[in-house]
Structure 1
Amino acid sequence: MKSFSLFFLTLFCLLLSTSASFSQLNMTLQDSMDYNVGVNDVCGWVAPDGKEYALVGLNTGVSIVAIDSTPIKEVAFVPGVDNLWRDINTFGHYAYVSSEAHIGLLIIDLQYLPDSVHYHSWFGMCPTPNGNQQFQKAHSLNIDENGILYLNGSNLNSGGCLLVDVKTDPENPVCLGYAPASYSHDSYARDSILYSAEIYAGNASIYDIHDINNITLLGQVKTPSEFTHNISLSADSHYMFTTDERPNSYVASYDISDKTNIKELDRFRQAAVEGHGSIVHNVFTWQNWLVLAYYSSGTLIVDASRPDNLIEVGNFDSFIGADGGYEGVWGAYVDLPSHKILASDRSNGLFVFIPNYVRAAFLEGTVIDSITGLPILGAKVSIQSDEIILPQITPLDGTFKTGKAVPGIYSIVIEKEGYYTKTIPTNFVNGDILTPVIKLRIRPLYAFSGSVINNQNQGIPFAKVAIYGDGGTYTTTADANGDFLMPAVYSGVYEVQAGVWGQTVHTQITLDAPQSLDLTVENGYRDNFDVDLGWVISGNATEGQWQRGIPTAQSLFSMYDCSPGTDSPNDVGQFSFSTGVSTTTDVLNDEVSGGSTFITSPEMNIDSISFPILSFDYWLCEYPPNQYIGFKVWLANETDTILLSQFSNPATNGTWLTFLSNLDIEGMSGHNKIIFEATDTTSGTADYTLKVLVDNFKLVSILDGTHEEQIKTKHFLVYPNPVSGSSIYLKPENGIQGNQLTLSISDIQGRIISSQQLSKTEAEAGINHSLDDGIYFMQWKTEKGEYGVEKIVVVKN
């Protein structure tokens, strides 16, 4: 093993600061020690001379580390059978260590530190209904102030708590009795009350153990994920805190002042990893704070002084890797006189922290209607801050409870559909409790009506109409004459989308009175997917089928951006097509699996478009990168289907990109459809993650439609064509007036290969090129606004 040097500590902190936002808060790393084996539990002990030690459970034994000075130093090691689980607790100058390895109870006499330790194993005989049986193993243990050791998940009593006296003869414990035979994963005891985490039953059970021969159940509660992992208690014993070892699990708080009527108060999980599958492993209490061993999120401090409003006020993420799973911080110890926090990271060893225990700045208010004074259900309350703080949604009584760790002036934003959004700059002070009553003003309702028409003032039958803005989203379908009515729309600024396939319009309105508007469509195949224009979804994928909706920001392993939180920035609106539209932030919940999923456009008449160019924006996330081809686009007509392109992402992280392709393809004239395919090409035989979004679809002329008549009458003659040499010559025809040219050459995919500015005379003298064999489009424009495109073919000798 080794202690980190100052250099490596500095490097470690730099890595943390760049690998995860907000990875260190109110916790200072004193030192750490890396081991070459796996790490599990950690405990602390203070010697009579005041020296402090960390007792670190390893897969191969117990490491004892002096932590008073830096660097910290291992002073003793007690070897043991290789085993994943060890749990450690102390009473007096003895440490007791349980294991799942059927090696009994390890007892370590610590009084000889730092020079040495003495140790032996105890295999006690305990009375059972079937006679005396030997204790061999336990999953975890706990010792109360009376010197009673609680062995949890042992080979006796079906894993229910086994009570053992370690006070009378610490080196030779004596079995006292058993709690009910419900498997206990962990326990906590104080004042002859036992709190048992009965993991498989999903219960936190409270027992009266004053009479060990007559242990009685006082109360019981199901924990949020019904996989109760461990329990801790507030200093006054009025509140209980539990964990469930499950992905996206909570720390739950309960009022247990009446143990026959346990009341849940709050649930906490770290906002920074919300939806990432992260697991909170163990909870410990120090005064009115919680210290959490949070696996991949590291070590957290939570202010529990208001147990109905648990607020994160400190953290240190010692685990560098993806969120979720069972790697990272296993255990913590908080009861040293120095107030140092010990944390055991399964992969990275022992960490010694100096905490700064601070109170949160609490925000606990009510949202009401400004006129009626009644509470508002469903208002969203957010704090705009660099800290990641989950918004709160008000229940029936309009109340909300939240807060933050870092003081200062930050804005509170309160939103509710049908009301004007309110933003309130607020001074947050650690330890203060803000209790605002926030009044929202209702938006008036107005009618929005009109007609969807073409440029001949003819109505577009059954056109789709959608508006979206700060007053909400509204959709309707026009009647056979193209007329529509939205009778009750909240006032506000709205984007308007309307039309049918091949005829669409976009505009913006400010609705502050009843309004009627003619919406004149433009010809062309454009779709930003805010209205349903008739795309067809098909395929056999078991998960991740294409859906039209508003994208949800999603990550993979909390390292890769696999889905954006918005649609393409290149179009208006909010919608896109996505392989799965989920409310979860973990892409693994709706990525493409088990087959293929397709979206197929309505028919398009490509022959009606001069120099047709297909363009769309796409977002592609793949893991592992560059190993599979999961996203393809096809062009199909009545007789043929051809592959236009296939895509891969070498970086995994998605980003919005634009694809262009020439559709002037021989043999593919007439009525065509575009097909987007997303396929799990491994058919579930490998770990392949695929997420695709498509937006901002267009099939238009490569030239702006306003120039189409000019294109037909003004040209440059390109010669020779096909081009075989290194020069291209241009000769103006049909009265081109301009003398200065802006010239660009694009390939068949629409990608610009080269661009330059030159005079008409220079163009006639010849343009050097280095084009490969293929078909290209030369687009030109003069200073007089003349505009055109020429098709050229390069065939080199």
Structure 2
Amino acid sequence: MKHFLLLNLLALSTTLFSQLNSTLRSQLDYDVAVNDVWGYVAPDGTEYAIIGLDNGISFVSLADPDNAVEVARINGDNSIWRDMKTYGEYAYNVADQGSEGISAFDLRFLPDSVPFKKTTYPDIIGNGREFIQAHNLYIDTNRGRLYTAGGSRQINDGGILIFDLTADPMTPTYIGKGPATYSHDVYVVEDTLYCSEIYDGELALYDISDLDNPITLGTTRTPFNFTHNAWTTDDQQYIFTTDEKANAPVAAYDIRDKSDIKETFQFRPLGSINTGTIPHNVHVIDDYLSISYYTDGLVVADASKPDNIIEIANYDTWLGSNGGFNGDWGAYPFLPSGLTLVSDRATGLYVVDVDYKRAARLEGIITDLDLGTPINGVSVSINSTQPNGTTTSAIGEYKTGIADGGSFEVTFTAENYLPLTVPVDMANDVCLRLDTTLTPAVRRYDISVTVVDDETGEAIPNASFVFKNEEEDTSVDMLTNADGQVIIDNVFEGDYDLYVAEWGYLTIGEETISPSTLENRVYRLTRGYMDDFVSDEGWTASDEGATSGFWVRGIPVGTFFGNIPGSPGFDAAGDFGSEAYVTGNGGGGGGDDDVDGGTVTLTSPMFQDLGLADLKVSYQYWFANDGGDTTPDDNLTIKISNGRETVVARVYEADGDASWTADSFLISDFVEITDSLQIIVETDDSAPNGHIVEAAFDNFLVYGRTIPVGTDDYDAAGFTASVFPNPASESFQLTFDGRTLNQATLRVTDVNGRLVSEQKVDGESVVFGQALPAGVYFAEVLEGTRRIYTTKLVKE
């Protein structure tokens, strides 16, 4: 171990380390990696740091905060994870590796020595298992109770164990347990237990006034479904959580009604947005959040307004790139001196003096000058060197701020509006209200669309109408009313993509369309079944035991396991829109939000044959399977159900790098055709395999293997006709039996009714469609103006 007063480092800290409203007082380097940190104040007022090492515990005197000195070190089992807390003149440690049980340290003899005792607990809950490890601990110092979290899954499933410290502080006495749910961390106030149930992705609150009968008070999912730790304000009205995932926020919740927990804000350091930074632990002191943010270092935020949390100080201990688990593991802000202790995995202990101050805040509502309606998505930026910025919500509301007040200009910008810059005087501990308006910069139109059945002409209610401008990141997703209508007023000029979809019909899509063309427009939907997932057509997602990787519809966010693709970063080619169904869509690394712990299932709405002679389904799928402690052996299963039986039609295993792959099958090869057909897509990664399992599903289509013929006057035509092959991967051959055509016309249109090809037909057959891309089409043959033949085509 090296101890040194880093005079040069202190002199150069402004250039070496990123910092805001903070000063490095001293640093202590170690010859071994460190993990967590806690603090202690001796009866004589001397402050100490307690540092977790990979091979023990270090005690550091801060008698001179500018010259931190290690005064004792206790060796222990090798463990990456340690957690320490204090009670009176004693400290306690647990480790998630090794077999130390609970280590108790007598601090009354500091700085000269630290007597200690390690206690394990044979058959602690009566199932024959010995308690030797835990991931974290918390101490209720008022009652003298120690709570461990994250121990062996064979002891209360890694849930909370409770020990008394009052009888013998050096030998904690087991007195009870919490719920049998794995809890990564625990926080306790009086009779309320706050559990970070990491694998369930939930913060759970329990009443433990009766240790033999914990009662659930409330639960809430945290943003990245990986609840790592939680800490409340002093009045227990708000709580803050971390998810140990790349780009995850520190989330704030209103817990005044514990049965109805409400999220109030998501905080991220604005200087490293979307760079993969990971929050580790959050603690709360006087409504400030002291956050160990791995590669961002120590981050301090003012949470006195839990709906507008502003970073007011930081000290970055990591000089490398963002992302990953390097940098700041722990931060302890509770020393009476106001100093914060920071533990960096590689570079040891940092003693940091934080200049706490209430943020200077700016809030308001932005409305349209002409209409008076709120504007969503307005960018709000304060012209300051301090990172800041936000966008308005759906109700036009914005909330932002900076660490240090002063005179600034704030700029409001939004697509289709003229920018606006306003001077502001902002002061610390003041929330300035600024409501304003923006002036439209382009013309607006009123849209009126009616959706009808192509065959009957009847209106189709509840059809999805999707209208979006990806360049401006604006989207409208509405359902038609009882008259099959969608009416949208005041749509800005621009290039939009439009999709009309309803289960039981073929989707219509138009790209780069102007709203000026959509006044009194009628869209005619043809019966059939296709789903490119541009809208919600009623597929259901379910799971059995899974803790992550649930099926969701959205634009895929790609992940990688090393250089190997995990989840796709794009949807399948050749369909409408950019959406697909994917197993988890949280991004991050290959093991983030993949399928874990059980089975996830995606089930289609029911469909029927629509009078076709036979049915075939086609789709594209993605399946990735890698990593884990054993050879990957998971699969993706496609099942077909007819309401009476469910049969496995396809089983896919990972074969090399994952990619979008097309497949199809005849339904009648597996089940009898009924009016209650459904497709079921299923994958699984049950514990303890721990593999990377990612799946996706897109471009779903149901069609007839033998397409039926329809004519305006088929009997009068006096012949039969057929198309072969259909579906076709190259070209179609249309053959007429019993008649030779002379100067007839063959027209092919796409599902939107747009003409894609037209040619003359002479003789008894014609080959066509070579240049058509994959998709669904309709062909018709006309003699003069009389249509004598129609059919549907599928190009694969």
> Is the Cα–Cα contact under 8 Å of residues 406 and 430 in structure 1 kept in the other structure?
yes
Per-residue CA deviation, residues 579-630 of structure 1 (Å, 9 max, x unaligned), is: xxxxx9x9999xxxxxxxxxxxxxxxxxxxxxxxxxxxxxxxxxxxxxxxxx
Aligned to 2:440: 442
Specify whether residues 350 and 444 from structure 1 end up closer, same or farther in structure 2 by C-alpha distance, changes over 3 A only: closer
Aligned to 2:484: none
SS in 1 for 2:421: strand
Aligned to 1:789: none
Aligned to 2:81: 85
Residue 161 (1) aligns with residue 135 (2)? no
Residue 40 (1) aligns with residue 39 (2)? no
SS in 2 for 1:326: coil
> Is the Cα–Cα contact under 8 Å of residues 471 and 490 in structure 1 kept in the other structure?
no
User: What letter matches 2:9 in structure 1?
Assistant: L
Residue 364 (1) aligns with residue 363 (2)? yes
Cα deviation for residue 421 of structure 1 reads 1.1
Cα deviation for residue 328 of structure 1 reads 0.5
Matches within 5 A, 1:483-632: none
User: What letter matches 2:271 in structure 1?
Assistant: A
Aligned to 2:421: 423
> Is the Cα–Cα contact under 8 Å of residues 160 and 178 in structure 2 kept in the other structure?
yes
Aligned to 1:115: 112
Distance in 2 between residues matched to 1:130 and 1:36, nearest whole Å: 40
Per-residue CA deviation, residues 250-308 of structure 1 (Å, 9 max, x unaligned), is: 10000000000000000011111111101010000111100000001000100000011
User: What letter matches 2:108 in structure 1?
Assistant: Q
Cα deviation for residue 129 of structure 1 reads 4.8
Aligned to 2:316: 317
Aligned to 1:147: 144
Aligned to 2:335: 336
Aligned to 2:134: 138
Cα deviation for residue 319 of structure 1 reads 1.1
Per-residue CA deviation, residues 78-103 of structure 1 (Å, 9 max, x unaligned), is: 11122211110010111100012122
User: What letter matches 1:112 in structure 2?
Assistant: F
Residue 216 (1) aligns with residue 205 (2)? no
Residue 10 (1) aligns with residue 15 (2)? no
Matches within 5 A, 1:102-251: 102-125=99-122, 127-130=124-127, 133-144=129-140, 145-155=142-152, 156-251=155-250
Specify whether residues 162 and 315 from structure 1 end up closer, same or farther in structure 2 by C-alpha distance, changes over 3 A only: same
Distance in 1 between residues matched to 2:123 and 2:137, nearest whole Å: 17
TM-score by length of 1: 0.55
Cα deviation for residue 367 of structure 1 reads 0.3
- Give every structure 1 segment of 4 or more consecutive aligned residues whose post-TM-superposition deviation is greater than 4 Å: 470-473, 488-491, 586-589
Residue 60 (1) aligns with residue 80 (2)? no
Distance in 2 between residues matched to 1:76 and 1:127, nearest whole Å: 31
Cα deviation for residue 126 of structure 1 reads 5.5
Distance in 2 between residues matched to 1:126 and 1:424, nearest whole Å: 68
User: What letter matches 1:440 in structure 2?
Assistant: L
Cα deviation for residue 124 of structure 1 reads 2.5
Per-residue CA deviation, residues 553-593 of structure 1 (Å, 9 max, x unaligned), is: xxxx9xxxxxxxxxxxxxxxxxxxxxxxxxx9x9999xxxx
Aligned to 1:349: 348
SS in 1 for 2:109: coil
Distance in 1 between residues matched to 2:77 and 2:416, nearest whole Å: 65
> Is the Cα–Cα contact under 8 Å of residues 245 and 588 in structure 2 kept in the other structure?
no
Specify whether residues 428 and 55 from structure 1 end up closer, same or farther in structure 2 by C-alpha distance, changes over 3 A only: same
> Is the Cα–Cα contact under 8 Å of residues 333 and 339 in structure 2 kept in the other structure?
yes
Aligned to 1:383: 382
Specify whether residues 181 and 12 from structure 1 end up closer, same or farther in structure 2 by C-alpha distance, changes over 3 A only: farther
Moved more, 154-163 or 364-373: 364-373
Aligned to 2:298: 299
Specify whether residues 368 and 446 from structure 1 end up closer, same or farther in structure 2 by C-alpha distance, changes over 3 A only: closer
Aligned to 1:716: none
User: What letter matches 2:69 in structure 1?
Assistant: K
Higher Rg of the two aligned structures:
1
Aligned to 1:259: 258
User: What letter matches 1:88 in structure 2?
Assistant: M
Cα deviation for residue 472 of structure 1 reads 12
Distance in 2 between residues matched to 1:319 and 1:165, nearest whole Å: 39
Aligned to 2:761: none
Segments of 5+ residues of structure 2 without an aligned counterpart are 446-470, 475-490, 495-561, 563-584, 591-796
> Is the Cα–Cα contact under 8 Å of residues 124 and 131 in structure 2 kept in the other structure?
no
Specify whether residues 95 and 375 from structure 1 end up closer, same or farther in structure 2 by C-alpha distance, changes over 3 A only: same
SS in 2 for 1:214: coil
Work out the number of aligned pairs and report it. Answer: 456
Moved more, 7-16 or 280-289: 7-16
> Is the Cα–Cα contact under 8 Å of residues 387 and 402 in structure 2 kept in the other structure?
no
Cα deviation for residue 490 of structure 1 reads 7.5
Specify whether residues 400 and 212 from structure 1 end up closer, same or farther in structure 2 by C-alpha distance, changes over 3 A only: same
Specify whether residues 423 and 182 from structure 1 end up closer, same or farther in structure 2 by C-alpha distance, changes over 3 A only: same
Cα deviation for residue 141 of structure 1 reads 0.6
Specify whether residues 81 and 15 from structure 1 end up closer, same or farther in structure 2 by C-alpha distance, changes over 3 A only: farther
Per-residue CA deviation, residues 713-746 of structure 1 (Å, 9 max, x unaligned), is: xxxxxxxxxxxxxxxxxxxxxxxxxxxxxxxxxx
Residue 76 (1) aligns with residue 75 (2)? no
Cα deviation for residue 121 of structure 1 reads 0.3
Distance in 2 between residues matched to 1:425 and 1:114, nearest whole Å: 56
Cα deviation for residue 392 of structure 1 reads 2.1
Distance in 2 between residues matched to 1:489 and 1:107, nearest whole Å: 68
Distance in 2 between residues matched to 1:587 and 1:208, nearest whole Å: 35
Distance in 1 between residues matched to 2:15 and 2:434, nearest whole Å: 40
Cα deviation for residue 11 of structure 1 reads 5.4
> Is the Cα–Cα contact under 8 Å of residues 104 and 171 in structure 2 kept in the other structure?
no
SS in 2 for 1:37: coil
Moved more, 351-360 or 373-382: 373-382
Cα deviation for residue 154 of structure 1 reads 1.3
Per-residue CA deviation, residues 410-469 of structure 1 (Å, 9 max, x unaligned), is: 22111122222111111121111011111112235399xxxxxxxxxxxxxxxxxxxxxx
Specify whether residues 292 and 588 from structure 1 end up closer, same or farther in structure 2 by C-alpha distance, changes over 3 A only: closer
User: What letter matches 2:28 in structure 1?
Assistant: M
Cα deviation for residue 347 of structure 1 reads 0.5
> Is the Cα–Cα contact under 8 Å of residues 417 and 472 in structure 1 kept in the other structure?
no
Distance in 2 between residues matched to 1:587 and 1:40, nearest whole Å: 23
Per-residue CA deviation, residues 338-377 of structure 1 (Å, 9 max, x unaligned), is: 1110110001100111111111111110001223322122
User: What letter matches 2:75 in structure 1?
Assistant: P
User: What letter matches 1:385 in structure 2?
Assistant: S
Residue 98 (1) aligns with residue 97 (2)? no
**CA RMSD of superposed structures (Å):** 2.7
Distance in 1 between residues matched to 2:442 and 2:58, nearest whole Å: 69
Matches within 5 A, 1:407-418: 407-418=405-416
SS in 2 for 1:364: strand
Distance in 2 between residues matched to 1:472 and 1:103, nearest whole Å: 54
Segments of 5+ residues of structure 1 without an aligned counterpart are 18-22, 448-469, 474-487, 492-556, 558-583, 590-797
Specify whether residues 446 and 346 from structure 1 end up closer, same or farther in structure 2 by C-alpha distance, changes over 3 A only: closer
Cα deviation for residue 177 of structure 1 reads 1.1
Specify whether residues 472 and 195 from structure 1 end up closer, same or farther in structure 2 by C-alpha distance, changes over 3 A only: closer
> Is the Cα–Cα contact under 8 Å of residues 34 and 343 in structure 2 kept in the other structure?
yes
